[in-house]
Structures are given as structure tokens and as C-alpha cells.
Structure 1
Amino acid sequence: DAARHTSPASSDLDAREAHRQAGRRLIDVLLSYLDHPSTDLAGRQELEAQAIAIVDEQAARLAAVDTSLTESVARFVTARQPFLAEIAGLGRRRSLDAAPLARLYEDATALLDRLLLRFIAAHQRADG
């Protein structure tokens, strides 16, 4: 039945859309993490766990379509930019001075570094 088979182009579009949606979900979770009080460790750990699940899914998806680790990491690093840009907006909304804004960037980059290491490990596991 032809209706059951997807064309390679359709499949590629579906994969790109899934990648975009996962990226949006990840940015939402990361911003929630940064918005969460740093004193609420359990809440932040839950949000980081959600981010890890998304990163694992993305790494496995890229490995499954034979995207090299180097290219996958390049995509991850490029995808960080909208998140880092959003931090400036978060700082403006909170009317942060330089010191709290610097802490926000430190929190963000530390989280992104942990997620990048997780992404690499997940890609390697999926790549077998």
C-alpha cells in the first residue's frame, strides 16, 4: 500500500521537524532551569533530568541516521546560541546587574557543558 510508505524526502522532513521540536523543548527546559531558584535543588535536578532525556534522544536520533560525532557536536554547539541569546533577555526581564547576570551565564554554560558531555556519550552508545 503506497499510503503506508513514506518517501525519503518526507522522512527527512519529518526528522528535521522532530529535531526542531526537540530543540525548542530543550530551550524551554533550560530556561525553566535558569528561572528556577538556585536554592531549589530538587526542582533544578528534575529540570536537568528532562534536559538530559532530550539530549539523549537527540544524540540517538543523529547517530541512527549516521551523522558523525563531529557533525553532531557541531550541531549541538550551534544550537546553544539561541539559548545563550535568550539569557540576555532573561537578564533584562529580571533587571539584573552585572554580577547576577554573570552568575546566570555561569549556570547556563555549566549546564550546557554537562549536557554536551552527556550528548557525546549518548551518541557514542547509540553508534555502538
Structure 2
Amino acid sequence: MKEKGQALIILIVAVALTLSVLTASLLASISQARASSTSRLGQKVYYAAESGAEYGLLKSLRNPGSCTGSDTLNQDSVSVTITYNSAGTSCVVTSEATQNNILKKIRVENSYTPSQIFTTCCWSEIP
């Protein structure tokens, strides 16, 4: 007669263990989804910054004398700011893209050789 409640206790322990495993796997899935979303957004912002740098290079190519000022672009809800600064004979283009507290910066230098050939140098992401 003392063994009547054992089946109920075993059932309760099994249900609790199953719920614990399901909860842990659900939390892991949610965490992975958030990380994936942040990674995709980071890539989107990075490529927008690269597009801004390319825009700046095109502007420098079309108008060699203008290496001052800035431009602002909006690309698929990503805000891109391109700044131009002279550094000796080079023009430094810095593109900064932001969305949802994610910031990416790309810096590239360009110049004209004495024979008027357009060259680029030092394309890099600024941490």
C-alpha cells in the first residue's frame, strides 16, 4: 500500500524535466535568432558604408578639385555620412553608416598622379 503515490511522483518529475528541456531549447533558439538578426543588420550597415565610400570616390573622380565638405545619403533606412578631407596631395574619404546603434566606418584615400591618373589607396574599415 505504500507504493500508490510513486507513479504520480515519477510523472511529475518527468513532466518537470521535459518542461525544463523545452524551455532551455526555446531560449537558445530565441538567442540565436537575435544574434542572426544583429549579424545581418551589421552586414547591411557595412555594405552601406562601402557604398558611401564608393560614392565619395566617384565624386572625387568627377570633380578632382573638391576635397572638402560632406554628403549625407539614406540607403534602405541606413544613414550614411561621407566626409572629404585633404591630406597633402591625397583626398581622404570617410564613410560612416549607422542604423539601430550599429556603426561602420570605411576610409579610403585617393589622388591623381602627375600624369593625371586617378589612384586609390588604403581602403580600410575603421574600428
Q: TM-score band, normalised by the shorter chain?
A: 0.3 to 0.5
Higher relative contact order (CA 8 A, sep 6+): 1
Higher helix share: 1
Higher strand share: 2
For normalisation by structure 1, the TM-score amounts to: 0.40
Rg larger for: 2
